[in-house]
């Protein structure tokens, strides 16, 4: 894919502005997601003139990876893969995000995902107390990041802090449910 990538998150709610055909597919596959990340890339593919939406989400015990696009005739191109989080063999992180290793028809396959999705998948292996404690720490770090963004007049840093706090609250609630 070439072009500009735009990310939308649950925190900013701009995913509600997706084309109706794309929005309905995203909600059908990830409506119950605790963590969802949607990236839109302007594609050079003439068959998908509005670009491609890549959706990664964690919903309960499932990881969902979707690739969606609107064709010129208005029909939807869709590739949706769903895995139990227990099926994920490995999660690794680097400066550009995370890689999730999942079972494929010919063996293990790697899927690139945003860092937030990698963290959400990875924390499925934590105990309840560990998840709750890390959620508290993540929330505190997110609040500090938000304040730093306000102080430095950096809206991206501020938004990242808000997202991190939301993820921390979710993580803490999940941990509390297990204890």
Whether residues 116 and 145 fall in one domain: no
Whether residues 89 and 69 fall in one domain: yes
The reply to whether 97 falls in a domain is: yes
Whether residues 10 and 87 fall in one domain: yes
- pLDDT at 9 exceeding the cut of 60: no
- The number of distinct structural domains making up the chain is 2
- pLDDT at 38 exceeding the cut of 50: yes
Whether residues 156 and 115 fall in one domain: no
CA 167 to chain centre: 11
φ, ψ at 167 (rounded to 5°): -60, -40
pLDDT tens across 96-139, in order?
889 999 988 898 999 999 888 888 887 666 667 776 787 788 88
Whether residues 62 and 142 fall in one domain: no
pLDDT score, position 16 = 62
pLDDT band at 12 (very low <50, low <70, confident <90, very high): very low
The reply to whether 179 falls in a domain is: no
Q: Which domain holds residue 37?
A: 5-122
Whether residues 104 and 89 fall in one domain: yes
Distance CA 179, CA 175 (A): 6
Whether residues 87 and 72 fall in one domain: yes
Whether residues 115 and 130 fall in one domain: no
Whether residues 92 and 164 fall in one domain: no
Prediction pTM value = 0.64
Record the tokens describing residue 49, joined without a space.
Answer: 């003139």
- Rounding to the nearest 10 degrees, give the CA dihedral for residues 49, 17, 8, 76: -40
Whether residues 69 and 106 fall in one domain: yes
């Amino acid at each position: 894919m070439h072009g500009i990538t735009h990310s939308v998150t649950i925190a900013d709610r701009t995913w509600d502005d997706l084309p109706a055909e794309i929005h309905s597919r995203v909600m059908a596959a990830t409506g119950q997601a605790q963590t969802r990340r949607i990236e839109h890339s302007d594609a050079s593919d003439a068959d998908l003139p509005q670009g491609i939406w890549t959706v990664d989400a964690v919903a309960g015990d499932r990881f969902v990876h979707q690739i969606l696009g609107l064709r010129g005739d208005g029909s939807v191109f869709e590739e949706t893969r769903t895995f139990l989080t227990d099926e994920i063999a490995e999660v690794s992180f680097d400066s550009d995000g995370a890689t999730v290793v999942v079972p494929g028809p010919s063996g293990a396959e790697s899927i690139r995902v945003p860092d937030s999705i990698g963290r959400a998948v990875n924390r499925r292996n934590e105990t309840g107390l560990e998840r709750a404690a890390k959620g508290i720490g993540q929330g505190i770090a997110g609040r500090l990041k938000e304040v730093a963004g306000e102080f430095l007049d950096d809206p991206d840093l501020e938004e990242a802090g808000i997202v991190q706090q939301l993820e921390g609250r979710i993580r803490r609630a999940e941990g509390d449910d297990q204890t």
